[in-house]
Chains A and B, each alone.
Chain A
Amino acid sequence: MDVKDKLKILSAAAKYDVSCVSSGSSRQNTEGGIGNAAESGICHTWGADGRCVSLLKVLLTNNCIYNCAYCINRTTNDVPRASFTVDEIVDLTINFYIRNYIEGLFLSSGVEVNANYTMERMLLAVKKLRIEKKFNGYIHLKAIPGADYSLVSEAGRYADRMSVNIELPSEESLKALAPQKNRENILLPMKRIGAEIIEKAEEHKKNYKAPQFVPAGQSTQLIIGASPEPDYKIIKLSESLYDKFNLKRVFYSAYIPVSDNPKLPVISKPPLLREHRLYQADWLLRFYGFLADELVNPARPQLDAALDPKAAWAVNNLHLFPVEINRASYETILRIPGVGVRSAKKIVTARRVHALNFDDLKRLGVVLKRAKYFITCSGKYYEKLVYEESSLRVKLIGPPPALPGSGAAGLKKKKEDEGQLSLFENDIPHDVSTNISAAVTGEF
């Protein structure tokens, strides 16, 4: 099989891993070497699905002895199989990099022969790149669950980022859908990588010549909608991964049907809106100072489909509003719906030299579409307004029955998503308020 055919198979097999991020590392080029890593990350192109492509994302092989139900590479699936040689990976990476197609390599793999064998081959590829070719571009490496930690740890010396994918958000789902994997061999390496990152970062601080270890941190991925966990469980899990394992990113991947296994839900389209809301909530945890429990809780286990999670939180906490733009703390301003980190920073900078009014805010570039209902400027409201949940909801998303601009497509979308959401409705207390707003705006 020639390289092109292998590339087709092994990139298609890797595409369900959504992470393509190249940020967080500022690896420098070395004498006679090629490449470096840009701290902020760089997108090189966007696919027809609108996803940013930053790395050569491939599997080393899609041969796999495991049989995870949600995965196209599972052993019982009838798909063409291929394996790269180490040299092929190295050659593609260098030649794509030099032409500025990519920031680096994201190497993952099916489990061939056994976990150690696979991890060893991946290690060979990165060592060849780093040592022989002096390649200093970005490398994201998957840690294979079940591989000896000594191999994982060695790989961490060469990788910028490592990840172990949890995929399914609970032990029960793991048992049902990925019977050969278990909590232990997923979480343990994450924990140890996390500990070693902290340890080596300390050493590196004291002595900048000390080797770096996974400088761009650790990430993981959760599949959304292949198993019945509500958003509440998922966001709580993410929160503890950030707090306890020191993860840099949790990625969410809307489940795309790849199998007719009876244990998997039947859906015609991936639950993209739900995925989008989870990303928004994740952002609120990482950059906006929110706790998971503020966004979802056992009584409200799903994120609001019609409102972004910050606006949903705000209409449920109206006693905290309106916020006075010229006096409130930065943290409070960050919590105003529609105000992002950039806008919040601009507000606190500009108000030190000038009392801001609504026109000033517009000129600062603050989007008032949602924010205007939640703020005052020097005591003034934007418009007269009844301050209660239901009327604000109408303001924010329009009247419940016919959504403006949603039309037939919007209704169809709603149906499909309901098929997805209904999976959960047996397990969770029926909550009227989440249901009213289950209408989908189609706004991404």
Chain B
Amino acid sequence: MGATYIYDDSFDGLLTALFTAYCAAQKPDAIAAESEFEDGLFVEKVPLKTDPRKAAKAVNIISNFISLDAMHNIFYAFLAESENHGGVIYDYFKFGIEKGRKADKFLHDPRVIGVHKLRDKLHCEKHRLLGLIRFKKVETGAAGEINSRRHIYYAEIEPDNNVVGLVAPHFAHRLPGEPWMIHDLKRGIAALNDGQGGGANWSVVDISLNGAPQSAENEDIYQDLWRAFLKSLVIETRINPKLQKRCMPVRYWKHLVEMAD
């Protein structure tokens, strides 16, 4: 009968579990997130308390004994909220400790493929959203004044994975002088930039809004111009809706100014 380590769904929790497993004489069979774990007859459940110091040690072990790339892979695989990612990451971690620096070269091995696939899934969605995020200029009112401005560029997203913190730096460099918010409706979190300038003035916060914010003056005009532009850009003899859908999956359309309704 093997043990399953249970962590609290946080990244630090996962790292704590990896470190604990690394030190244990009797290795656990699996690692699972609390929210995903299903009790079974032959499973011994070992809940772990998240410990930032242990998490930091896990980071050291992964970076030094495997590689910085492996650390990056594990973080991205964690953010790709796929079922059993804790288990997939644990298998990869064990394999990495066994093979050391060259672990990521075993591209045919299922233990490596598992984590690489999740990482790629996340990269793909992140890159996609850099293009598909649409800001709307909305009023904040006197009460919500940000940096002495009464508007904010506001975007709604519902991504498959938890990518809001990954796309934020891109926009922080691009629009440092404007207040903006990227709101992940699915997870109730948002990346927020106060528009004070500089590339690092953003943070991820928990958020819930009551009702959709009010469009600022001229917002509708630019949305309308954008739609008109796209319409006249199409070459009629090349119409190909299938290709369009393949490049831009329909699940993203809801929040696109040009595709909604």
CB atoms of A45 and B248 under 8 A apart: yes
Residue of B nearest to A101 (CB): B226
Which residues of B come within 8 Å of A, CB atoms?
Answer: 102, 105-110, 113, 127, 130-137, 153, 155, 170-171, 173-178, 197, 199, 222, 224-226, 228-244, 246-248, 256-259
Pick 28 A–B contacts, CB within 8 A, sort by A.
A7-B228, A7-B232, A11-B229, A28-B173, A29-B174, A29-B176, A34-B175, A35-B174, A35-B175, A38-B170, A45-B258, A46-B248, A48-B234, A50-B238, A50-B242, A50-B244, A51-B235, A95-B222, A98-B135, A98-B175, A99-B135, A99-B226, A100-B155, A350-B107, A350-B108, A353-B102, A353-B106, A364-B108
Does chain B have a CB within 8 A of A84? no
Does chain B have a CB within 8 A of A272? yes
Cα-based distance from A364 to B171 in the complex (angstroms): 34
CB-CB nearest 3 A-B residue pairs? A50-B243, A360-B108, A350-B107
Query: For A205, what are the chain B residues with a Cβ–Cβ distance below 8 Å?
Result: none
Cα-based distance from A34 to B178 in the complex (angstroms): 9
Question: Told that A4-B228, A99-B137, A270-B238 touch, could you supply 7 new A-B pairs with CB distance under 8 A?
Answer: A7-B229, A14-B233, A15-B232, A15-B234, A45-B256, A50-B240, A256-B237
Cα-based distance from A272 to B244 in the complex (angstroms): 16
Interface stretch, picked from A52-60, A169-177, A417-425, A432-440, is A52-60
Q: Shortest distance in angstroms between B68's beta carbon and chain A's nearest beta carbon?
A: 17
CB atoms of A47 and B244 under 8 A apart: yes
Does chain B have a CB within 8 A of A363? yes
Does chain B have a CB within 8 A of A269? yes
Does chain B have a CB within 8 A of A8? yes
Query: For A40, what are the chain B residues with a Cβ–Cβ distance below 8 Å?
Result: 127
Q: Shortest distance in angstroms between A308's beta carbon and chain B's nearest beta carbon?
A: 18
What number of A residues sit within 8 Å (CB to CB) of B?
58
| Residue of B106, B235, B240, B244 touching A354 (CB-CB under 8 A) | B106
Cα-based distance from A8 to B233 in the complex (angstroms): 8
Which residues of A come within 8 Å of B, CB atoms?
Answer: 3-4, 7-9, 11-12, 14-16, 28-29, 31-36, 38, 40, 42-54, 56-58, 92, 95-96, 98-101, 256, 269-270, 272, 346, 349-350, 352-354, 356, 360-361, 363-364
Cα-based distance from A362 to B153 in the complex (angstroms): 45
Cα-based distance from A344 to B228 in the complex (angstroms): 43
Query: For B170, what are the chain A residues with a Cβ–Cβ distance below 8 Å?
Result: 38
Query: For A32, what are the chain B residues with a Cβ–Cβ distance below 8 Å?
Result: 177, 197
Cα-based distance from A99 to B247 in the complex (angstroms): 21
Q: Shortest distance in angstroms between B93's beta carbon and chain A's nearest beta carbon?
A: 18
| Residue of B177, B226, B235 touching A34 (CB-CB under 8 A) | B177
| Residue of B222, B231, B239 touching A99 (CB-CB under 8 A) | B222
Query: For A53, what are the chain B residues with a Cβ–Cβ distance below 8 Å?
Result: 230, 233
Query: For B131, what are the chain A residues with a Cβ–Cβ distance below 8 Å?
Result: 42-45, 54, 100
Q: Shortest distance in angstroms between B110's beta carbon and chain A's nearest beta carbon?
A: 7
Query: For B174, what are the chain A residues with a Cβ–Cβ distance below 8 Å?
Result: 29, 34-36
CB atoms of A46 and B173 under 8 A apart: no
Query: For A360, what are the chain B residues with a Cβ–Cβ distance below 8 Å?
Result: 108
Residue of A nearest to B259 (CB): A45
CB atoms of B102 and A12 under 8 A apart: no
Cα-based distance from A154 to B199 in the complex (angstroms): 30
Residue of A nearest to B153 (CB): A98
Query: For B177, what are the chain A residues with a Cβ–Cβ distance below 8 Å?
Result: 32-34
Known: A8-B228, A45-B230. A96 touches B222 (CB 8 A): yes
CB atoms of A269 and B133 under 8 A apart: no
Q: Shortest distance in angstroms between A369's beta carbon and chain B's nearest beta carbon?
A: 18
Query: For A270, what are the chain B residues with a Cβ–Cβ distance below 8 Å?
Result: 237-238
